[in-house]
Structure 1
Amino acid sequence: MDKSDNKKRNKGGRTPKTDPSIHRHVFRLTDEENAKLLTLFEASGMPNKAKFIISVLFGKEIKTIIIDKAMLDFYMRLTSFHSQFRSIGVNYNQVVKLLYRNFSEKKAAAYLYKLEKQTAEMAVLCQKIIHLAEEFQTKHLKK
């Protein structure tokens, strides 16, 4: 039996790659160089160290993602705060309807005046929140 004849009959196993990586290169690093390589590798987020080294050697783009938990937490809280303000605006119409339904027109107008003053203050505060969120996004998130 010929070897080529045996390969034709064996159908198990992994299909061979069209361009396998068969060339091996070995290089040595100092402790400082190794620490720097590992830091860059971890910052890249790539799953394979060999692919990372190849991408560095051949100048392929390497993306480094730095996530600042404090900034992310601040942004999430600011966004949550803004959504709470929006939900207050949705309830505003319901409150106005309840005032006119349950009180006389004169008393409802008095309560509505107080509500209007508070709403104006909240609108100014909401504009400040929107401005802070946009400023934060331009300064810290779009680098």
Structure 2
Amino acid sequence: MQEKRNKTGRNPKPDPAVFRYTVRLNEEEHNRFLSMFEKSGVYARSVFIKVHFFGKPFKVLTVDKTLVDYYTRLSDFHAQFRAIGTNYNQVVKELRCHFSEKKAMALLYKLERQTIELVRLSREIVELSRKMEAQWSQKSV
């Protein structure tokens, strides 16, 4: 039998959860419960309890804050590196327009040295990222 729907409000659920149970925990059990709940990544305590109680599998996700921070900084650096690449041609054009040939060549030489240093640094970062990924994949196994 289907319930009549009012013109306002929510649609009624086909199988509403109406039964409620109360469980009392001491402080140690409560702390253990909260720890398990936080590790599970489930959005609600009631959902966590139902999943755990009925034996359905659930995932425990752990987030390594240092790894997240590392990749965030690496992404920021990569964005800056790309910005330098897009501005490189504009810098060369401006040097040729506003400086004498001798002065422009001297500045281009300095720019070239800094670019080589930037490429070296970029390769070092890529190598560090590979090492970090290798260490992280060993931890997760």
Q: TM-score, normalised by structure 1?
A: 0.65
Distance 1:27 1:115 in 2: 70
**How far is 1:20 from its partner?**
4.6
Tell me whether 88-97 or 75-84 shows the greater mean CA deviation.
75-84
**How far is 1:16 from its partner?**
5.7
- Whether 1:109 aligns to 2:105 is yes
Tell me whether 14-23 or 112-121 shows the greater mean CA deviation.
14-23
Distance 1:71 1:61 in 2: 27
Is the Cα–Cα contact under 8 Å of residues 82 and 130 in structure 1 kept in the other structure? no
Residue of structure 2 aligned with 1:77, choices 73, 76, 84: 73
- Whether 1:87 aligns to 2:62 is no
Is the Cα–Cα contact under 8 Å of residues 82 and 129 in structure 1 kept in the other structure? no
Partner of 2:120: 124
**How far is 1:120 from its partner?**
0.9
Distance 1:10 1:84 in 2: 57
Structure-2 change in CA distance of 1:35 and 1:114 (3 Å):
closer
Tell me whether 131-140 or 23-32 shows the greater mean CA deviation.
23-32
Q: Which runs of 5+ in 2 are unaligned?
A: none
Distance 1:16 1:112 in 2: 72
Is the Cα–Cα contact under 8 Å of residues 39 and 60 in structure 2 kept in the other structure? yes
Q: TM-score, normalised by structure 2?
A: 0.66
**How far is 1:53 from its partner?**
1.9
Which one-letter code corresponds to 2:32 in the other structure?
K
Deviations 1:30-64 (A, max 9, x none): 65444322321233233433321221133323233
Structure-2 change in CA distance of 1:23 and 1:108 (3 Å):
closer
- Whether 1:98 aligns to 2:94 is yes
Q: Which runs of 5+ in 1 are unaligned?
A: 1-7
Aligned length: 136
Computed over aligned residues only, the root mean square deviation of the Cα atoms, in angstroms, reads: 3.6
Higher Rg = 1
